[in-house]
Amino acid sequence: ARKECKFYVNASVKDFKNSILWHMERSLARATVRATSRDWWLATAMAVRDEIMGRFISTMSRQYKANSKRVYYLSLEYLMGRLTEDTLTNSGLMDVAREALKELGLDFDSIMASEVDMGLGNGGLGRLAACFQDSLATLDYPAVGYGILYEFGLFTQSFEGGRQIESPDNWLKFGSPWDIVRPEYTVKVGIGGRVEGVMSSTGDWSVRWIPEGELLGVPWDVPVVGYGAGTVNFLRLWESRATNELDLNAFNNGGYTQAVHQKAMSETISKVLYPNDKTENGKILRLMQQYFFVTCSLQDIIRRFKSLNGENWDIFADKVAIQLNDTHPAIAVPELMRLLVDVEGLGWDKSWEICTHVFAYTNHTLLPEALEKWSVPFFEKLLPRHLQIIYEINARWLSYVESIYGRDSDKIARLSIIEEGAPKMVRMAYLSVVGSHSVNGVAELHSQLLKESVLRDFYQISPEKFNNKTNGITPRRWLKTANEGLSDLITKTLKSDSWPKNLDELKGLEKFAEDSDFQKKYMEIKRENKAHLAKIVKDLCGVDLNPDAIFDVQIKRLHEYKRQHLNLLYILTLYRRLLHNPDADISPRAFIFGAKAAPGYDLAKNIIWAINTVGNVINNDARIKGKLKVAFIPNYNVSLAMDIIPAADVSEQISTAGKEASGTGNMKLALNGAITMGTLDGANVEILEEVGKDNVFIFGMNVDEVQKLKAEGYNPWNVYNSNENLKSALDWLVSDYFMPGNPTAFEPLRKSVLDWGDQFMVCADYQSYCDAQDRLGEVYKDKARWAKMAILNTARMSKFSSDRTISEYADDIWNLEKLPPRE
């Protein structure tokens, strides 16, 4: 029997088409003959929005009536991408919309391309938050995602002479049909000022924060449609605004320009997303962003709790679970204490009990330099009451530590939330661990290393807090929407269209892995996707890619630990080999990159420049007969990912073992039939476990070997001096072959892997990487074998559905029940 999925909204093509035309006239005031692509997209978005609004309202009232527990996800980032296409997929209206636009004589894909990405995130962490929202709604969990409505998302990247140029991403310039303002839930936010002792009516002394300034948080809601539209949850994103009172006071004192200045300052808080995916230390605006969105969200949570339960604080933790997406919202711990102790008048012990039952913390990095710390003087100035509360939390924590270990001053210094030094620093990860009942890593290996390294002392005291939640990705966006060809083949082959909600069904493809007819169909779709990407690459990079070449893809933020430069060294090695022997029988390769560098990360920018420069020379070298191509796609973002991933043959996951917490691009690529070329790092380890060693290429040192070599005293020069190919590649890079007249251009890159100690062991893994890449090139020649590998990757990826991840969070951490529609 054919399995089918229930959809809660329905529309005929005729009605949907009329709705588009209705919006074109009534919402957009446009005659169809004059309508632009953007107009058509907007009218289509409004037509879909109309269809889901009823589901949105019924979800809210269902959750309110049931007074069920909700999870609140606190994240500074949501990398949503475009919303319309995915909403069409999840509401089940995709085919209807396609047909409607076709009948109007329009090309669906080019209309949808008018939507600007919602790029309110840097990379993995922000995209994970977006996938989680999709799964929460799909699984009918009551949930809200809180964040900031940045006016400017992650910068737009372009290249000039191969070098990265950043420009502002003014995504909201013309508004969005997907956000709904809720002025009635506006919240007040204090900042700065001082702390005062006050006598309460009962004669007790208590403490109160008298902020110096005040501003407002205005919430904008973005609907999140679950697959089938049974549940429509929402993101609530805060925008900062100046208060009217503030203006008026200054105005009355004759300070009109001062008042306008104040207003502008208040409104900068939500202006821009910080483009770093490592901690940028000491930016006061960043701390203000964190506090701003945290207090808005907590006040909103408390308002709703009270409207349902009054002051029955005993059940707060039965109604509220709060997940901290890394330490960025960690200020929530002292802020909830302040709201409960100072504002609601609960005692410290009771408040602390509530806090530790409500909060759970997810760690996303082991890199010690990326662990967030804020200076104590900063806190003093911006959040004086919070600093007091943190000191109180720390004092109680350290006396507990002392009750276990005695006066072991070493232990105490290591476990203290305050790091001694000039200035003293608040360790946000420690604050998060102490204030939470759960601490999780994002892949098995990462969670293990957390317990052994950065949080070791905490693990010894509270082992029960620590757990793993291996990341996942939503198959709705990353397979159903992004790869329609493969999705249709899967649906036909499995005779089921419920696999997007039940990804385990993909296992049913295993029995077709060696079926030559299925292999042919599967690889034909891959080839179509490659041809489609080749057009995009031609358009964006001016580079011609041959769809029969191996599409070897590395798409992720640019970081030394991710080792895009190791990939470049192999490209140089292959190029040199081809120059020595232009007739070498190698599988033609297209190396495709997508990566943004943090604007202040010079070495990352140098690597981008090097790849572009080397690529340009290779692409124009007739001697190698097009066997090698390099394309660096500018402005890599979620929408480009949806074009690149379905076209990939090879997925580069080559971080130094122990450095990549999980990775999620690795999962998206494997699901779409790309073979992983990877180290034993992050979730690669689990991908290997799922697909089996014959269906992935593993190379390089593992974590133990990395640690051992470091301990022995690693010297990259020894590798360089004994490896002819490595030496040639690195020397070539600083000759004037690639940069006539400017041979020192890429000296920083070369120095980083030689003179500066090669922190990420590029030289150490170089030979192993080249060998694995050469093996891959040989395997690709056997078409049937390659097809089987690709199919088995798709068939065996079901573990990495974010539905599995979210179910685990709900069961193990949040104790959260589903609340499906009753019909």
Q: Note the residues at the interface with ligand 26Q (CB under 6 A).
A: 122-125, 128, 274, 276-280, 286, 328, 364-365, 372, 442, 471, 660-664, 682
**Active-site residue, from 49, 364, 386, 530:** 364
Q: Which is nearer to ligand 26Q, 123 or 230 (CB)?
A: 123
Q: DSSP states of 209-247 as a string? A: EE-SEEEEEEEEEEEEEPTTSS-EEEEEEEEEEE-HHHH
DSSP state of 272: B
Question: What DSSP assignment string belongs to 640-652?
Answer: HHHHHGGG-SEEE
- Cβ atoms of 784 and 516 within 8 Å: the answer is yes
Encode burial over 642-674: b for 16+ CB neighbours within 10 A, e otherwise. Answer: bbbbbbbbbbbbbbbbbbbbbbbbbbbbbbbbb
From the CB of 224, what's the least distance to ligand 26Q, in Å?
19
Using an 8 Å Cβ cutoff, are 82 and 130 in contact?
no
Strands 153-160 and 163-169: antiparallel
Catalytically annotated residue among 562, 565, 596, 750: 562
Q: Work out how close the CB of 662 gets to ligand 26Q at its nearest, in angstroms, rounded to a whole number.
A: 4
Q: Which is nearer to ligand 26Q, 72 or 274 (CB)?
A: 274
Nearer to ligand 26Q, 362 or 481 (CB): 362
387 CA to centre of own chain: 30
Residues 328 and 280: their CA atoms lie apart, in Å, by: 12
| Residue 562 designated active-site | yes
Verify whether residue 556 is a known catalytic residue.
yes
Rounded to a whole number of angstroms, the minimum distance from the CB of residue 687 to ligand 26Q is: 13
Minimal distance in Å, beta carbon 501 to ligand 26Q?
23
| Residue nearer to ligand 26Q on the CB measure, 428 or 749 | 428
Nearer to ligand 26Q, 487 or 653 (CB): 653
Least spacing, CB of residue 655 vs ligand 26Q, in Å: 8
| 80/739 with CB nearer ligand 26Q | 80
Burial of 197 (0-12, 13-18, 19+ CB in 10 A): exposed
Which pair of structure tokens corresponds to residue 419? Answer: 């790091």
> Measured from the CB of residue 327, what is the shortest distance to ligand 26Q in angstroms?
8
* Three-state DSSP state, 591: strand
From the list 704, 230, 268, 270, the residue with the least C-alpha distance to 445 is: 704
Task: Give CA–CA dist 238/299, Å, rounded.
Answer: 12
Is 373 considered catalytic here?
no
Tell me the CB-side half-sphere exposure of residue 159, using CA atoms within 13 A: 25
Short-list 106, 135, 142, 300, CA closest to 217: 300
* Nearer of residues 428 and 541 to ligand 26Q, judged by Cβ: 428
* Cross-strand pairs, 233: 224
Task: Kindly state the smallest distance separating residue 124's Cβ from ligand 26Q, in Å.
Answer: 3
On the 0-12 / 13-18 / 19+ scale of CB atoms within 10 A, 606 is buried
Q: Let me know: does 287 contact 386? Beta carbons within 8 Å.
A: no
Q: Are 584 and 624 in contact (CB under 8 A)?
A: no
Which one from 62, 427, 557, 629 is the annotated catalytic residue? 557
Q: Please tell me which residue in 55, 127, 328, 668 is annotated as part of the active site.
A: 668
Task: Answer for the pair 284, 325: CB distance below 8 angstroms, yes or no.
Answer: no
Residue nearest to ligand 26Q (CB): 124
Q: What is the DSSP string of 451-518?
A: HHTTTHHHHHH-GGGEEE----B-HIIIIIIT-HHHHHHHHHHHTBS-TTT-GGGGGGGGGGTT-HHH
Verify whether residue 668 is a known catalytic residue. yes
For residue 72, the cross-strand partners are 144, 322
557 is catalytic: yes
Amino acid at 71: V
Cis upstream peptide for 599 (omega within 30°)? no
Q: How far is the CB of 768 from ligand 26Q (least distance, A)?
A: 22
Residue 326 Cβ vs ligand 26Q, minimum distance, rounded to whole Å: 6
**Residue 274 CB, nearest distance to ligand 26Q (Å)?**
4
DSSP letters along 504-531, please? GGGGGGGGGTT-HHHHHHHHHHHHHHHH
Q: Are 697 and 780 in contact (CB under 8 A)?
A: no
Choose between 49 and 563: whose C-beta lies nearer to ligand 26Q. Answer: 563
In whole angstroms, the minimum distance from the beta carbon of 279 to ligand 26Q comes to 4
Which residues fall within 8 angstroms of residue 91, CB to CB, at 6 or more apart?
Answer: 7, 9, 48, 51, 52, 225, 229
Choice between 328 and 526, CB closer to ligand 26Q: 328
Characterize the bridge pairing of strands 78-81 and 118-120.
Answer: antiparallel
- Contact between 440 and 363 under an 8 Å Cβ cutoff? The reply is yes
In DSSP notation, 270-299 reads TTB----SS--TT-HHHHHHHHHHHHHHHH
User: How many helices and strands, by DSSP H and E, does the chain display?
Assistant: 33, 25
Cβ nearer to ligand 26Q, comparing 187 with 638:
638
Instruction: Give whichever of 278 and 818 is closer to ligand 26Q, judged by the CB atom.
Output: 278
State in angstroms the smallest separation of the CB of 128 from ligand 26Q.
Answer: 4
Q: Which of 664, 679, 794, 805 is catalytic?
A: 664
Nearest residue (CB) to ligand 26Q, 372 versus 803: 372
d(CA 478, CA 594): 17
Catalytic residue among 386, 427, 530, 556: 556
CB of 68 to ligand 26Q, least distance (A): 27
In angstroms, the Cα distances linking 27 to 12, 23, 31, 45 are: 21, 5, 11, 12
475/682 with CB nearer ligand 26Q: 682
Within 8 A by CB and 6+ apart from 151, the residues are: 170, 172, 239, 270, 271, 272
Residue of 320, 324, 296 whose CA lies nearest to 125: 324
Catalytic residues: 364, 556-557, 562, 664, 668
